Amino acid sequence: MTKSSSSSTLGAPAAPVTVAAVQMVSGPRLEDNLARARHWIAEAARQGARLVSLPEYFCLMGHQDTDKLPFAEQPGDLGAPIQGALSRAAQEHGVWILGGTLPMAIDGAPSPAERVRNTTCVFAPDGSLAARYDKLHLFCYDNGRERYDEARVLQAGEAPVTMEAAIAGGPALRIGLSICYDLRFPELYRAMNFGGPRPLDLISVPAAFTFTTGQAHWELLLRARAVENQAYVIAAAQGGTHENGRRTWGHSMIVDPWGEVLACVPEGEGVAVAQLDPARIAQVREQLPALQHRRL
């Protein structure tokens, strides 16, 4: 099952479009993080990006998991600090914003909430909310030194989400939304790729991979998802040592449908910028028609 949002007329391959993945090293102060996000969105737009992606938890990396609970926002509340900031930035710069993730209140949950959703909100260039995706797969890891269990404060989402983003003067992109740990579940991307009118053009993976798991698997998994779905991947990440002592892997990158890394920010704040070319997608799928050979 997929959900769709924001339709457009599809035609022949359009001109390439510039996209950007922002890397941050977010901390526990919301306003500081929002200011850094605004800075990098503006920089990406200055470099010609028409679509900008932020990392998971761009708005807050607290000292403990429960720190995010007081910042939970109501769905669709553009008067709230985080959603409002993203909406205004999209409108100010005339760009699509894949808004990393933010803590989203669960409908009907008591206040103060004990659990929230980890949610991507996508904003169109006019500032309107174009799509929402709640993280399906919740990270759990314990190697004896590092322990993580997102289910302690997060509630999993319910369904995959795809959307259409019409780039003015450029292509209409079919985008599959995912978040961090989702990357390890290829069946999610298969469901999105074959659950709509046509295959995906772009897969979005905002993340805060740990240094340990990122060093081992991040690039490997991103390139695999690009190759097997013959789509571009944009992966905006947290990348550095945070005030809470956690170290994230970074390496925000944009990968093409052949698995080539087009741009990468290894560590620290920055922005990876690359061209997404519909003709390249068509070329890869014509030369190696793997999507047509699927049997299961």
Q: What is the mean pLDDT of residues 84-108?
A: 96
Residues 257, 230: Cα–Cα separation, whole Å: 4
Among all residues, which ones are annotated catalytic? 56, 135, 180
Q: What is the mean pLDDT of residues 99-114?
A: 86
Distance of alpha carbon 34 from the chain centroid = 17
Q: Kindly indicate the confidence band of residue 5, based on its pLDDT and cuts at 50, 70 and 90.
A: very low
Decide if pLDDT at 107 tops 90.
no
Q: Percent of the chain, pLDDT > 90? A: 90
Residue type, 82: I
Q: What is the mean pLDDT of residues 199-219?
A: 98
Residue type, 110: P
pLDDT in tens, 252-265: 999 999 999 999 99
Other CB atoms within 10 A of residue 35 CB: 11
Decide if pLDDT at 244 tops 60.
yes
For the record, the structure tokens of 219 come out as 């690039």
pTM of the shown model? 0.94
Residues 132, 5: Cα–Cα separation, whole Å: 9
- Quote the pLDDT of residue 113: 77
Decide if pLDDT at 8 tops 60.
no
For residues 205 and 178, the answer to whether their CB atoms sit within 8 Å is yes
Domains of the chain: 19-288 (3.60.110.10)
